[in-house]
Amino acid sequence: MRALCLIGLLLLSALAQAADISPVIHDRHIGARLRGLALPDSLRKDLRSGLTNRVLLRVTLLEGTQTLATANVEIALKYDLWDERFGTQLTVNGVVRTAPELRTVDEAWAWLIDLRLMPLFERPTTPATLTLRAEVLLNPIERERMEQIREWVKENSRYVPLEGAPSAASESGSNSVFNRIFEYYAADQGMAAQWREQAASAPFTVSAR
Amino acid sequence: MNFRPRWLLFILFLLPLAALAQSPAGDDALTIDELTCRGNEATSCDFILGHIYLSPGDAVDELELSNARLRLSSLPSFSSVDIYLERGVARGHVRVVVEVVEADPYAREWIAGTSIRFDSVSQLLVGRLTNQNLFGTGKLLDAYAFAYAPVAGTVRSEYSARVQYVDPHWLNNKRMYLIAGMSGGYVDSESINGRRAKVENLGFDVAVGRRLFDFSFLTFGYRYNSYAQIDVTSRLLDGSVERSSESFDSHVFSIAYGWNSEDDPYFPTRGSRAVVHSSRVFVEGNVGTSTDGGIRKTWTTANGTSWVIQVADAPSTETRQFIQEHFEFVGGFSRPIGASANGEIRRGRWYVEAGYSPQGHDLQNRRQKEYGAKAGVRLQTRSFGMVDLYVIGSFLHTAEGAD
């Protein structure tokens, strides 16, 4: 019984940590609210780095298993060392949208773990039961760049006993980040990233426009 | 058009990448005042900054900094790497800071094997210690000791040790490498035709080489054997015993060509490795030539089983000898072992190999062949480094009738 309770608690905590996407329906459009992204702790430091951090989201609207539409959302955050605020850029399918003013890392973090993306899709012309699915990538690396890095690693780490391998024997945090990126790359995913997460909504019904 | 989902994903993600090139804070280029390191105690800052292809006065190139972080992260020298900017002397000027946490520079490797070959039982033990970041420069100091001790049956023993310094980027050239080493050993081996040889040797060597194309390498080497002692005892068919003994020094010039396209040095899943090595030995006015080598090919089937075939010697890489007890012709497979829950085992493989070695002719001039198998487990552990445990066994088949 205690074991069952423990499993239940673990499941609940896992559920509590999982990202959640829900629809936001307004007028003729459908948007999405993405909450609870388990962003890596290292991002807090990266956000203060003065360099650009990028989050890519691919949000898909489905009816059953059929894809109705897809929205590509890109968020770029760069901390200005002199003005001490974030320069934030939000684009949906390449079109720039209004992004909030963010001054601190906590504000940026709070925004990222409760993203409201509105609007993303046109509402269907007929009543339908739909779902939303999102895939999120942090600081993605395109395949061509990954090829260049792989070439460099191949040339520069052949001797090391723990070399060249995605997983080194004394695998460190640094290596594990690299390895994770490499795993996505090796899995032929088209694009690798330091971190990725997926979320899907419960089915929801929309009436006709 | 029939796109597979991953290609669709790729194409869709490409769209916003064009926008990614733009900075969210506008187009104000930041100028680098200086590049500096933090957290490095054993590693020189020059070595770290050598991985960043930017200099003071350059504009900040975020893509290059991101690539540099990945390059540094791939090195075993560091357990974490961060790159960030700090305000510089004036607005628009920055200091690029590379903050690292250094990893344990020592890599350890152990091999323990029980060998039950057709005529003897022996125990093999190898220990290897490598400093992968000597003086914080990324050079290597590698030492190993090897013992193959007889337990029962025919005497077949070998003890050796080697220390070598390796500069994987000699003269700061990414394709050049240099190896300087010292090694010595003692071998006492009795063959199945009754010949017993004892060899003692101590020598120094130096080699330089160049990586060619994608996977190949070419090495030129010289070794001075300052001391070599060979004692040979042969039992003849009539029961008499013949003895010879000689002591000399020698000069050996060698050339080796090889390639290595395997995706992992310890747990390869695909690729091949090969080397052919030719030596010319000068001993007191006499000249001899020898050639050896080996090739290994690995591939993995859809169920995750990796298959290997190997012929002749276990092929080394350009700067590293691999120690492996094996047959002349080997075929086998391996299966992955997952990481343990407590983190002690990071990854591993168990493997089974079958092999065959020609063993020449016995005193009656009958051809002899050794058939055998090897089974083992190779683990990457937190406490001991790389560990390889195995058992190898074989039997001898003697063809009836003389050749």
Question: What is the C-alpha R_g of chain B?
Answer: 27
Residue A209 · residue A123 · CB < 8 Å: yes
Nearest alpha-carbon partner for B194 in B326, B368, B316, B13: B368
pLDDT of residue B23: 55
Q: Which tokens hold the place of A26? A: 């307004």
Query: Are A189 and B166 within 8 A, CB to CB?
Result: no
B26-63 residue pLDDT tens: 546 899 999 999 999 888 898 899 889 899 999 999 98
Say if residue B166 is in the same domain as residue B38. no
pLDDT of residue B12: 42
Please report, as a single letter, which amino acid is at residue B239: G
Query: Are A51 and B109 within 8 A, CB to CB?
Result: no
Say if residue B91 is in the same domain as residue B136. no
Q: How many CB pairs under 8 A join A and B?
A: 207
pLDDT of residue A154: 59
Choose one of B54, B83, B102: the last residue of a domain.
B102
Which residues, 6+ apart, have CB-to-CB distance to B276 below 8 Å?
A: B256, B257, B258, B291, B292, B293
B86-109 residue pLDDT tens: 999 999 999 999 999 888 888 899
Residue B262 · residue B268 · CB < 8 Å: yes
- Over the range B106-120, which residues count as b (16 or more CB within 10 Å of their CB) and which as e? ebbbbbebebbbbbb
Q: Which tokens hold the place of B6? A: 């991953």
Say if residue B28 is in the same domain as residue B127. no
Residue B305 lies in a domain: yes
Query: Are B265 and A177 within 8 A, CB to CB?
Result: no
B158-193 residue pLDDT tens: 999 999 999 988 998 878 999 999 999 999 988 877
- One-character DSSP codes across B344-366: SEEEEEEEEEEEEEEEEE-TT--
**Does residue B15 register a pLDDT over 90?**
no
Q: Which residue of B has its CA nearest to A192?
A: B10
Residue B4 lies in a domain: no
Minimum distance, in Å, between the CA of residue A85 and any CA atom of chain B? 10
* Closest by Cβ to A72, choosing from B16, B26, B109: B16
Q: Rounded mean pLDDT of B4-23?
A: 43
* Closest by Cβ to B174, choosing from A87, A155, A160: A155
**Does residue B231 register a pLDDT over 70?**
yes
Choose one of B64, B82, B102: the last residue of a domain.
B102
pLDDT of residue B87: 94
Reported confidence tier of residue B72, pLDDT bands at 50, 70, 90: confident
B contacts of A189 (beta carbons < 8 Å): 6, 9-10
Residue B7 lies in a domain: no
B119-165 residue pLDDT tens: 889 999 999 999 988 887 878 999 999 999 999 988 889 999 999 99
A contacts of B80 (beta carbons < 8 Å): 172-174
Minimum distance, in Å, between the CA of residue A128 and any CA atom of chain B? 24
Among B233-242, B303-312, B352-361, the range scoring the smallest mean pLDDT is B233-242
Domain enclosing residue B65, as ranges: 12-102
Nearest alpha-carbon partner for B127 in B99, B102, B160: B160
- Over the range B157-170, which residues count as b (16 or more CB within 10 Å of their CB) and which as e? bbebebebbbbbbb
Please report, as a single letter, which amino acid is at residue A125: T
Say if residue B310 is in the same domain as residue B166. yes
Nearest alpha-carbon partner for B294 in B277, B319, B270: B277
Omega prior to A119 cis, within 30 of 0: yes
Q: Rounded mean pLDDT of B269-295?
A: 91
Helix (H), strand (E) at residue B301: none
* Calpha distance B326→B53 (Å, rounded): 44
B239-257 residue pLDDT tens: 888 999 999 999 999 999 9
B contacts of A158 (beta carbons < 8 Å): 168, 211, 260, 317-319
Residue B3 lies in a domain: no
pLDDT of residue A49: 94
Residue B5 lies in a domain: no
What domains sit in chain A, N to C, each tagged with a CATH number?
Answer: 19-139+195-209 (2.60.40), 141-192 (no CATH)
pLDDT cut 70: percent of chain B above it: 92
| Local structure of B271: helix, strand or coil | strand
Which residues, 6+ apart, have CB-to-CB distance to B210 below 8 Å?
A: B175, B176, B177, B217, B218
What's the CATH code of the domain at B225? Answer: 2.40.160
Question: What is the C-alpha R_g of chain A?
Answer: 20
Query: Are B140 and A160 within 8 A, CB to CB?
Result: yes
Residue with tokens 């003071």: B56
Residue with tokens 């690995």: B298
Strands of the B78-87 sheet, one edge to the other: B31-38, B93-102, B78-87
Output the CA angle A177-B344-B387, nearest 5 degrees: 100
Say if residue B89 is in the same domain as residue B155. no
* Calpha distance B171→B160 (Å, rounded): 31
Half-sphere exposure of residue B323, counting CA atoms within 13 Å on the CB side?
26
Say if residue B95 is in the same domain as residue B190. no
A contacts of B83 (beta carbons < 8 Å): 49, 51
Say if residue B96 is in the same domain as residue B112. no
Asked casually if ipTM beats, i.e. exceeds, 0.95, the reply is no
- Where do runs of H (alpha helix) occur along B277-390? none
Total domains present in chain B: 2
Most B CBs within 10 Å, among A172, A184, A198, to test the B interface: A172
B contacts of A137 (beta carbons < 8 Å): 13
Q: Which residue of A has its CA nearest to B172?
A: A156
Answer with the residue of higher pLDDT: A197 or B233.
Answer: B233
3-state percent breakdown (helix, strand, coil) of chain A, nearest 5? 30, 40, 30
State the pairing for strand pair B385-398/B106-117. Answer: parallel
Say if residue B346 is in the same domain as residue B225. yes
Say if residue B162 is in the same domain as residue B39. no
Answer with the residue of higher pLDDT: B94 or B365.
Answer: B94
* Calpha distance B64→B56 (Å, rounded): 14
pLDDT of residue B77: 76
Say if residue B247 is in the same domain as residue B385. yes
Residue with tokens 């760069």: A78
Residue B2 lies in a domain: no
Q: Which residue of A has its CA nearest to B26?
A: A87
Which residues, 6+ apart, have CB-to-CB distance to A14 below 8 Å?
A: none
Q: Phi first, then psi: what are they for A16, rounded to 5°?
A: -65, -30
Query: Are B66 and A139 within 8 A, CB to CB?
Result: yes
Q: What is the 3-state secondary structure (H, E, C) of B202-270?
A: EEEEEEEEEEECCCEEEEEEEEEEEEEEEEEEEECCCCCEEEEEEEEEEEEEEEEEEEECCCCCCCCCC
Say if residue B275 is in the same domain as residue B214. yes
What's the CATH code of the domain at B43? Answer: 3.10.20.310
Residue B297 lies in a domain: yes
Choose one of B76, B102, B128: the last residue of a domain.
B102
Query: Are A81 and B87 within 8 A, CB to CB?
Result: yes
* Calpha distance A70→A61 (Å, rounded): 6
Reported confidence tier of residue B262, pLDDT bands at 50, 70, 90: confident
Dihedral (Cα; B300, B301, B302, B303), 10-degree rounding: -90
Q: Rounded mean pLDDT of B272-276?
A: 93
Say if residue B216 is in the same domain as residue B131. yes
pLDDT cut 90: percent of chain B above it: 55
Please report, as a single letter, which amino acid is at residue B276: V
Walking along chain A (209 residues) 10 residues at a time, the average pLDDT comes out as 44 54 91 91 90 90 92 92 93 91 94 92 90 88 68 53 32 49 51 76 86
pLDDT of residue B362: 78
* Calpha distance B52→B49 (Å, rounded): 5
Minimum distance, in Å, between the CA of residue A165 and any CA atom of chain B? 5
3-state percent breakdown (helix, strand, coil) of chain B, nearest 5? 10, 60, 30
Among B261-270, B318-327, B368-377, the range scoring the smallest mean pLDDT is B261-270
| Local structure of A209: helix, strand or coil | coil
Output the CA angle B206-B254-B126, nearest 5 degrees: 65
Average pLDDT, chain B: 87
Residue B361 · residue B403 · CB < 8 Å: yes
